[in-house]
Amino acid sequence: MKSIADKREQEKRIVAQMIQLYCKKQHHRSDLCPDCREVLSYAIDRSNHCPFMESKTFCSNCKVHCYRPEMRTKIREIMRFSGPRMLLYHPVLAVSHMLLTVKERMHKT
């Protein structure tokens, strides 16, 4: 079982890679644009202060939505774009994410 710190770091790595992929493909930049940098900073801050890290798998599965509405909209857009593309660019992370999602859904039923 992963420690809370390990889970937190993994979540931050995955979010960062998804935001980087989004910015590269949508904004045609090799580095993060100011808007994407702001979303990444916000997501990392939310992850650093999450009191539910021990029991949750992903923010989307959390009962408490701590993102401000405008940031929630932005991160959803990023996830919708980057999620399917992660299979091409980061296949191990994508498959791991899918397996955890399926496992959590099976556990809830």
Q: What angle do CA 67, 72, 74 make, to 5 degrees?
A: 135
Distance between CA atoms of residues 35 and 64, nearest Å: 24
Per-domain residue ranges of the chain:
4-108
pLDDT of residue 95 exceeding 70, the answer is yes
C-alpha 100/C-alpha 74 separation (Å) is 23
Write the pLDDT tens digit of every residue in 42-89: 999 999 988 887 777 677 667 788 899 999 999 999 999 999 999 999
pTM reported for the whole predicted model = 0.85
CB of 41 closer than 8 Å to CB of 101: no
Burial of 19 (0-12, 13-18, 19+ CB in 10 A): buried
